[in-house]
């Protein structure tokens, strides 16, 4: 709350959005919500700042995984309690590519896990960036647009339902892509990918 009222609040928002995407455990959403509550007319601007800074932070996380996994990345994953999830994330990224990153960027799935893992497995950087931008824009811009349109009264609805709404939307998008792949003849591959990744315990 102190940071939301600070004269340099936008910079604090950018800072927290950046570090949350690569190593910081606390998301910037509370700060974004408070800033939008204080100045609803600037809500879309605040959301855009959070989106851009978060994607840049995601690229930083990617760099950690790509260049410094052994020295820094593995330690960060362990400190965050995500060691067991790391091989699962790697499997999903290899199997689903942009969809896996988009899903993590737009839902409560730890985005930092996906950014570091994407760098470690050397996911295509352009694909990673576009997927991260789409997912982060979804989760932040929804807040900004709602505040811009409805003002302060929308805060209660956002606090209670935003996580569920954005998660449901992302799930629908992923299901749509999977359904399209099945219709295109990839039913067997898609049907086994999710189950196989859930059982992965080590990087192959």
First to last CA, the chain: 45
Taking 80 as the threshold, does the pLDDT of residue 109 lie above it? no
Q: Compute the mean pLDDT over every residue in the chain, rounded to the nearest whole number.
A: 83
Q: Reduced to 3 states, what is the DSSP secondary structure of residue 109?
A: coil
The share of the chain scoring above pLDDT 70, in percent, equals 78
How large is the average pLDDT for residues 98-123?
A: 90
Work out the average pLDDT over 183-192. 44
Where do the structural domains in the chain lie, given as residue ranges? 9-198
pLDDT for the residue 193? 44
Helical spans, DSSP H, in the chain:
9-20, 29-38, 43-67, 74-79, 85-96, 98-106, 111-120, 125-150, 155-181, 187-198
Q: Residue 180 — very low, low, confident or very high, per pLDDT cuts 50/70/90?
A: very low
**pTM for the full model?**
0.80
Q: What is the pLDDT of residue 173?
A: 59
């Amino acid at each position: 709350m102190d940071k939301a009222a600070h004269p340099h609040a936008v910079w604090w928002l950018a800072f927290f959005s950046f570090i949350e995407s690569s190593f910081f455990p606390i998301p910037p959403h509370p700060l974004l919500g408070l800033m939008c509550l204080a100045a609803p007319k600037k809500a879309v601007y605040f959301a855009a700042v959070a989106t851009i800074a978060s994607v840049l932070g995601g690229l930083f996380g990617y760099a950690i995984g790509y260049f410094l996994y052994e020295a820094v990345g593995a330690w960060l994953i362990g400190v965050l309690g995500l060691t067991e999830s790391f091989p699962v994330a790697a499997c999903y990224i290899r199997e689903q590519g942009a969809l896996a990153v988009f899903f993590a960027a737009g839902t409560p799935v730890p985005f930092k896990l996906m950014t570091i893992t994407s760098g470690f497995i050397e996911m295509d950087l352009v694909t990673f960036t576009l997927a991260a931008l789409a997912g982060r824009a979804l989760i932040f811009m929804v807040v900004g647009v709602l505040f811009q349109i409805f003002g302060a009264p929308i805060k209660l609805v956002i606090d209670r339902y935003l996580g569920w709404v954005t998660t449901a939307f992302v799930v629908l998008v992923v299901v749509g892509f999977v359904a399209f792949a099945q219709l295109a003849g990839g039913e067997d591959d898609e049907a086994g990918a999710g189950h196989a990744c859930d059982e992965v315990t080590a990087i192959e």
